[in-house]
Chain A
């Protein structure tokens, strides 16, 4: 019964979202579609980063690195299987299946990268993680730039444009459901315990390193998903898309929304994406604005927009203190 319930809770949101997304696809014009896709990808990135930075209280600065692992893996899969036609399916459905497989491969590759990076660095204090992940992002970029197989600095082009409103929407729902279910699980409790006090958590028998690594792997996998979606949204990827600036963008969204709040991350990701879209002329000042935003938020409201609360529970001071 329990198992059935959790399965229903995982599948139900997707089933509800699907018709809504199909409707949205029919209604949205081309410009709105582009903005919506952008918002969706950023929401996936912000919510997945929230798992590490918000729930677990670690600080990763290399989210774009995992994104690039997912993007390149997925791109390689779709390019390699471009001519494959599954015999028992019509062309469009066959392409969609290949695309889904490519996204899954991207997630798996990104998760593996997360494991490789997390295992050594998560045994230590949080600040090391920030630097190691920052370095990891740079290494990934230089490896891609130096590998002709991955297109070098120019990147990969002419990828099939498979990403649409429905795909991104389902991925967003899946990410949010994942974060939500994770937070309410034993695993999530352990992560919150690590965030609140690592020493105490360890004393209570929480395998801190193990849980941190698991959180890191989950977060990396969903970053990889976002990467795969982005690759097939623009149709081309290059190492420049996944630099430090991209990682910082995601960090700013998470910090602004409130470390630990899923809805905060969603709101901040959507808000910042739309704001950037409206302020395109001021591109040059974007990073300076991010920097000031980080400093000012930390000085004036370090818990971010929502803190660890969710949008619909403004009255609760701290979720972690509750007996829910």
Chain B
């Protein structure tokens, strides 16, 4: 294959791998925005907590292997990886429920600014709470403190080269898991009673309540679902890029928000497409021009979207009425 094509394909592979992460986080933003019309500022930090809960769970489940000991069988490793991922998703779902219950629900019906400020408070609390020194007497070193930790290798890494394009099993697994989760989410949203109720609440919470839909419970469920997806994204991201620290959710969170806006905030397919598009755009621009401005790309995209198509690719223009 010509070198330029190989380079392009390599960028596409990398862009897709990052884009699926953005897409999974963006889904949480967009679903919560759909039902509450609130940008859950703390979502990026839920993602961070997901990575750390995976880290602690793996520390318990995958004991340190002595040098020279045989590697665990593939089946065993897969089971462990799945358990860690599901465990982290469960932890984050609970965290999402707690945040909703204690920080957002008491403020429902008050000024929008109030919830926004609380959301920022929750975000700061998670970011800086995790940076405190570990509490003595706990079985694990929690909070982790400000120094970066290294996420354990859940599965043995295998690298392949397809005609010059390097690809690892992590990329393939990541993509497969992300696609499976998105299909699952699509089924939940469009084929279950919960999903129908969620769409009804998103359409009009007051009418939904009149129709007998338990709005509070649906909102709580939406938080749990979005947070679990963020945790899955965190594990998928932390396995190939293992450095994790308490502030590392900030930037992916912001970028995923941009992805959600790009796709049209409130739209589930929009978040997926927006995430993939943003990941690809970032990788391509960084790959062909200067990589030091990689982080600025997302914000350029955001400003362009806000200027030219503020409702995003999949959003419908809605006029605010009194």
Bound form: Cα–Cα A248–B250 in Å? 14
Known pairs A128-B306, A132-B299, A142-B295; A299 contacts B106 (CB<8 A): yes
- Verify A120–B303 contact, CB threshold 8 A: yes
Question: Any chain A CB within 8 A of the CB of B207?
Answer: no
- Verify B124–A287 contact, CB threshold 8 A: yes
The DSSP consensus for interface residues of chain A is helix
Q: Given the complex, which residues of A lie within 8 Å of B122, measured CB to CB?
A: 291, 295
Digit string of B296-322 for contact with A (CB within 8 Å is 1, else 0)? 101100110011001000000000111
The one of A120, A143, A285, A294 in contact with B118, judged by C-beta atoms closer than 8 angstroms, is: A294
Q: Which residue of B lies closest to A290 (CB)?
A: B124
Digit string of A51-72 for contact with B (CB within 8 Å is 1, else 0)? 0000001010100000000000
Which of A133-141, A214-222, A229-237 sits within the interface? Answer: A133-141
Q: Given the complex, which residues of A lie within 8 Å of B118, measured CB to CB?
A: 294-295, 298-299
- Verify B310–A124 contact, CB threshold 8 A: yes
The one of B39, B111, B295, B320 in contact with A127, judged by C-beta atoms closer than 8 angstroms, is: B39
Q: Given the complex, which residues of A lie within 8 Å of B250, measured CB to CB?
A: 244
The one of A134, A139, A197, A294 in contact with B117, judged by C-beta atoms closer than 8 angstroms, is: A294
The interface on chain B, measured as residues whose beta carbon lies within 8 A of the other chain's beta carbons, has a size of 46
Q: How far is the CB of B185 from chain A (nearest CB, A)?
A: 23
Question: Any chain B CB within 8 A of the CB of A49?
Answer: no
Q: Which residue of A lies closest to B133 (CB)?
A: A284
Q: Which of chain A's residues 93-119 have a Cβ closer than 8 Å to chain B?
A: none
- Verify B254–A131 contact, CB threshold 8 A: yes
Bound form: Cα–Cα A294–B121 in Å? 5
Question: Any chain B CB within 8 A of the CB of A210?
Answer: no
Q: Which residue of B lies closest to A195 (CB)?
A: B113
Q: Which residue of B lies closest to A58 (CB)?
A: B113
Question: Any chain A CB within 8 A of the CB of B125?
Answer: yes
Q: How far is the CB of A18 from chain B (nearest CB, A)?
A: 38
Q: Given the complex, which residues of B lie within 8 Å of A320, measured CB to CB?
A: none
- Verify B117–A285 contact, CB threshold 8 A: no
- Verify A199–B321 contact, CB threshold 8 A: yes
The 10 A-B residue pairs with the shortest CB-CB distance, nearest first, are A294-B121, A291-B124, A287-B128, A291-B125, A295-B121, A135-B299, A298-B118, A127-B39, A302-B114, A120-B307
Please name 16 further chain A to chain B contacts, defined as beta carbons within 8 Å, in addition to the given A126-B112, A134-B254, sorted by A numbering: A59-B117, A61-B120, A121-B306, A130-B116, A130-B120, A132-B303, A138-B254, A251-B117, A287-B127, A287-B128, A291-B122, A294-B121, A295-B122, A298-B121, A299-B103, A302-B111
- Using CB atoms and an 8 Å cutoff, list the residues of chain B in contact with chain A: 38-39, 41, 103, 106-107, 110-118, 120-125, 127-129, 131-133, 250-251, 254, 257, 261, 292-293, 295-296, 298-299, 302-303, 306-307, 310, 320-322
- Using CB atoms and an 8 Å cutoff, list the residues of chain A in contact with chain B: 57, 59, 61, 120-121, 123-124, 126-128, 130-132, 134-136, 138-139, 142-143, 146, 197, 199-200, 244, 248, 251, 255, 259, 284-285, 287-288, 290-295, 298-299, 302
